[in-house]
Structure 1
Amino acid sequence: MDRLTRNSIIISAILLVLLIVSLAASQNELRPRVWQLNELLEDDPVLANYPYDFRVLLFLNGIVTLTSPHASEAPLEPFLAKVDPRVADKPAGSPEMRAAGQRFREVEMRAIQVMVSQPDVESVVWALDKAWYHKNKVPLGD
């Protein structure tokens, strides 16, 4: 086999492999599961209409780690005041603040439902989205 034929075969094989890989990737087979789960969150109409974007950080052994602006170490009221101007000047116990908190909890539950509707997802854990607080210049507290 001469050099030109050998190089042509090698280049053809490389192009064939690249074509197969690109076709498989376009059908979601090679995309990371975290990306696929994040697309589910983005495509959900309830979550899309809420001012906070829940994101999947990690998917491991059937457990999804989702970002949230609320956790035991961060009160919910500063977040609500930032995303909902109607409650910005309201005290924590006001009916408006309670309604905004209830809506947040409903949206948070929707994020859980979207995740556990997947056959390979068993549970969801939350991770405080400190980056959101930093980006929006909202103090986290003490």
Structure 2
Amino acid sequence: MDSFSKKYLTVLVILIVAVVAYNLLGQDERVEAINAMLSADEQLSAYPYQFRVLRIENTTAIVGSPRSSDVSVIHYLRTQFPELSASTVDDPAVMEAQIKLARHQSRAMALVQSTEYIEGVGWELDERWFNERGVFLNF
């Protein structure tokens, strides 16, 4: 490899590393900014589960959720609200708790999507939240 090729390759590698570093650092700042916005929202901050962006993939924000296809909403509700642990799924208190969760999750999604660089929201089960409460999920 001649001298020019080595210099060209070196510059190319430096540029690639710079672009990757810029994207990773920029993403962290965007995640932090959105999470600060979510934390500052009076309605969301009053709810026991704190919605937060875990990461950004292209123009989609991946947001933590206490429910998924693997973990039912009732499992979350009984963990978050121990007074509901003996309640049936059709108990009015359980149904109201589900409605409140859905309202807060919808509000979190709307706020996240209101940022100029986010076009969609994906949800990911927040296993850490369960683990912090001594609930270890096995899939």
Query: In 2 relative to 1, CA 103–30 (structure 1 residues): closer, same or farther, beyond 3 Å?
Result: closer
Equivalent pair of 1:78/1:138 in contact (CA under 8 Å): no
Q: Does 1:109 align with 2:109?
A: no
Q: Which has the larger radius of gyration?
A: 1
Query: In 2 relative to 1, CA 30–126 (structure 1 residues): closer, same or farther, beyond 3 Å?
Result: closer
Task: List structure 1 segments (4+ residues) > 6 angstroms apart after TM superposition.
Answer: none
Partner Cα distance (1:40, 1:111) in 2? 10
Count of equivalent residues: 114
Equivalences for residues 59-98 of structure 1 within 5 A: 59-98=56-95
Structure 2: 5+ residue runs without aligned partners? 1-25
Whose helix fraction is larger, Structure 1's or Structure 2's?
2
- Following superposition, the deviation at residue 81 of structure 1 comes to 1.8
- Following superposition, the deviation at residue 31 of structure 1 comes to 6.6
Partner Cα distance (2:46, 2:136) in 1? 25
Query: In 2 relative to 1, CA 86–30 (structure 1 residues): closer, same or farther, beyond 3 Å?
Result: closer
Query: In 2 relative to 1, CA 76–30 (structure 1 residues): closer, same or farther, beyond 3 Å?
Result: closer
Equivalent pair of 2:64/2:125 in contact (CA under 8 Å): yes
Partner Cα distance (2:117, 2:91) in 1? 41
Equivalences for residues 13-92 of structure 1 within 5 A: 32-92=29-89
- Following superposition, the deviation at residue 138 of structure 1 comes to 2.6
User: Can you list the C-alpha shifts for 1:28-81, whole angstroms capped at 9, x where unaligned?
Assistant: x99711111110110111110000111111113211000001011101112112
Normalised TM-score (structure 1): 0.73
What secondary structure sits across from 1:79 in the alignment?
helix
Normalised TM-score (structure 2): 0.74
Partner Cα distance (2:122, 2:27) in 1? 25
Q: Does 1:138 align with 2:135?
A: yes
